[in-house]
Amino acid sequence: MKWFDDFFERRTREVARFTSRRNALIRLGKIVVGAGLVFPVLPFDRSPANAHAFEASKDPKDDTSCEYWRYCALDGFLCTCCGGSVSSCPPGAEVSSVTWVGTCQNPDDGKAYLVSYNDCCGVTACGRCLCNYNQGERPAYRMGVHNDINWCMGNKVNAYHCTVSVILGVTEKAAG
C-alpha cells in the first residue's frame, strides 16, 4: 500500500501548500500588482477642455484675469479661480503670515496702490489661473521684494495653494 500512502501524502502536501498563509499573501500581492498595471491611474478628467475651463481670461476688469490691475506683481495661482476672492483665501486655506508687497496703478483713478501678495496655505496647489507679473520685483537676494517665493514658509503647514492681493494703502496724488 506504499503507492496509496505516497499518493495521499502528495495530495495532502499540495493542499497544505495551496492553502497556506504565505501562498494566500503571494496571490494577493499578484492581484494588487496586476490591478495596478491594468488600472494605472484613477479616473481623473485630464481632458484639455477641462483644463482650459479655469484658465484666466484677458479682461483687465475681471479679477479672474492675470491682467487685472491689482495683479501687476503677482506670481502664482489666482485665489479668485480657486474658490476664494481677490483678498480672501478659499475655505480651508490659511493666509500666509509673511508676504511681499508691490505697487500697482489703478487705471480708474490713476493712483498707485500698495498691494500685499499673501499666499494661501495648507492646501495643495490650486493649479488654476497661473499668473506671473513682476512689476517692481527685485532679485531673490532681496527676499522682501521678490515674488517667486513660497510665502507659506512661516505657517504651520507650508503647502502653497493660491495668492490673494490685499490693498494696504494708496498714494495721495495720482501718478503722473
Residues that bind ligand ABN (CB under 6 A): 75-76, 119, 147-151, 160, 163
Q: Which is nearer to ligand ABN, 113 or 151 (by Cβ)?
A: 151
The answer to whether 100 is a known catalytic residue is yes
Q: Which is nearer to ligand ABN, 76 or 84 (by Cβ)?
A: 76
**CA 105, 108, 111, 114: dihedral to nearest 10 degrees?**
-50
In the complex, what is the shortest distance from the CB of residue 16 to ligand ABN, in angstroms, rounded to a whole number? Answer: 58
The answer to whether 119 is a known catalytic residue is yes
Residue of 63, 75, 100, 151 marked catalytic: 100
Distance from chain centroid for Cα 139: 24
Q: Which is nearer to ligand ABN, 68 or 160 (by Cβ)?
A: 160
Residue of 59, 75, 109, 119 marked catalytic: 119
Question: Which among 52, 78, 48, 51 has a CA at the least distance from the CA of 66?
Answer: 78
- Residue 163 to residue 116: CA distance in whole angstroms: 10
Phi-psi region of 129 (alpha: psi -120 to 50; beta: other; left: phi over 0): left
Q: Which residue numbers are catalytic?
A: 100, 119
